[in-house]
């Protein structure tokens, strides 16, 4: 009997030990599951917090690309330096009151003028960079853009790339400081008119009035004198099929129309210097 009791007690002891070990294993397994669940929740939370940032960045990039495609404008605000720069490009032909064909690359003044007004009123934009590669275009529209740029209270810099011809000249000199790349060109010529022209003295006087508006603006915003500018306009020995002068890179600086020869690096650096 005593032996049976002893064996029974040993059996209970072994069962209790087994149950104890099993309980520990269950608790350990539950602890691991809870830890895994917490880790999974943490990873999910981090993933959710990163996904909106990526999505927002993607939308901003799409908006920027769409804006460049439609208006040729973008805000340069990711360089970490003080002051955001708004970039405006004057490309192709400066469009006037009539729409040009779909095959022509144009700069529309109805896009540029409101943007310039918004820049003047913005607290987030501290400077304006104007890139030019234009054949010229409508006198009224070109002068309107030039006057708006010249009247901005914020620092402005222009950079002539391929060319800034005809009415592109007043736009190029309308900024506080101007650059031209070494291969950039500027064609300076008298006022032209398309369509019907009435052969009376008043027509010539009207031409003279328009030309005086252009030369007056250019001379008041750069170092060239009116006499020299008019000589360049009426030069007959340079352009074979036209009257006027073509200036390349350093020549535009030599005549005092452009301030300095340089590229985008100098233009942006100068603008940040003016902002600071």
Catalytic residues: 166, 189
**Cα gap 229→215, rounded to integer Å:** 7
User: Which residue, 224, 223, 247, 225, is CA-closest to 235?
Assistant: 247
Phi-psi category of residue 92: left, alpha or beta, with phi > 0 → left and psi -120 to 50 → alpha = left
**Tokens matching residue 186:** 């500027």
H or E element in which residue 260 lies? strand 260-261
Q: How far is it, in rounded angstroms, from Cα 211 to Cα 126?
A: 33
Cβ-based neighbours of 130, under 8 Å, separated by 6 or more: 87, 88, 89, 90, 149, 156, 157, 158, 159, 171, 172, 175
Backbone region of residue 137 per phi and psi (left: phi > 0; alpha: psi in -120 to 50; beta: other values): left
8 Å CB contact between 187 and 244 = yes
């Amino acid at each position: 009997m005593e032996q049976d009791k002893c064996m029974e007690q040993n059996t209970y002891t072994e069962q209790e030990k087994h149950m104890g070990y099993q309980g520990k294993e269950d608790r350990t397994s539950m602890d691991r599951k809870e830890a895994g669940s917490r880790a999974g929740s943490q990873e999910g939370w981090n993933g959710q917090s990163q996904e909106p940032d990526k999505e927002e960045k993607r939308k901003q990039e799409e908006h920027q690309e769409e804006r460049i495609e439609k208006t040729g404008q973008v805000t340069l605000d990711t360089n970490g330096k003080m002051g955001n720069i708004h970039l405006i490009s004057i490309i192709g032909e400066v469009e006037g009151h009539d729409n040009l064909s779909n095959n022509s690359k144009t700069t529309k003044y109805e896009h540029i003028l409101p943007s310039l007004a918004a820049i003047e009123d913005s607290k987030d934009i501290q400077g304006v960079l104007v890139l030019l590669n234009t054949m010229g275009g409508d006198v009224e529209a070109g002068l309107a853009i030039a006057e708006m740029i010249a009247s901005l209270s914020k620092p402005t810099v222009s950079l002539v790339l391929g060319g800034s011809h005809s009415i592109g000249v007043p736009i190029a000199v309308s900024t506080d400081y101007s650059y031209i790349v070494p291969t950039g060109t500027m064609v300076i010529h008298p006022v032209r008119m398309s369509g019907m022209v009435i052969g009376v003295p008043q027509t010539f006087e009207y031409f003279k009035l328009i030309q005086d508006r252009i030369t007056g603006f250019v001379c008041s915003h750069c170092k060239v004198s009116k006499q020299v500018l008019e000589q360049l306009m009426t030069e007959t020995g340079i352009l074979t099929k036209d009257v006027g002068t073509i200036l390349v890179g350093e020549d535009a600086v030599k005549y005092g129309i452009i301030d300095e020869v340089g590229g985008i690096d100098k233009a942006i650096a100068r603008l940040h210097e003016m902002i600071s």
